Amino acid sequence: MVFILFGFGKKSVKWLAKTPEMICSNCINVTIFGLAKITTWFTLFFIKIIPYNTQRALICPICNTHIEVSKDECAKLLSDTAEDESSEAE
């Protein structure tokens, strides 16, 4: 008898950048949010095989509230944070 273990829903988070201080709409704290890319995977024997959903989100480090952002908004936030870091280096 052969058993094949597969599953859905294994998530991986890749942190992309930190944002300037923002107010969280959930916990009402002023904090630096993290910009993350969240990928959901199809797994086979607990090994991630195929990504089937990708989200980009701002995540509050205090209450873990996710604010979903589009791909374009994510690119803009990344370019803004890169410009801020380069201006601080000067």
Q: Residue 16 and residue 77: Cα distance in Å, rounded?
A: 10
Q: What is the pLDDT averaged over residues 13-20? A: 89
Q: 41-73: per-residue pLDDT in tens?
A: 988 877 888 898 999 999 999 999 999 999 999
What 70-79 contacts at long range (C-beta under 8 Å, 24+ apart), as own/partner pairs, is 74/16, 74/35, 74/37, 77/17, 77/19, 77/35, 78/16, 78/17, 78/35
Per-residue model confidence (pLDDT) at position 78: 86
Q: What is the pLDDT averaged over residues 21-25? A: 90
Which structure tokens are listed for 69?
Answer: 């952002």
Task: Name the nearest CA neighbour of 46 among 80, 4, 77, 81.
Answer: 4
Single-letter residue type at 72: D
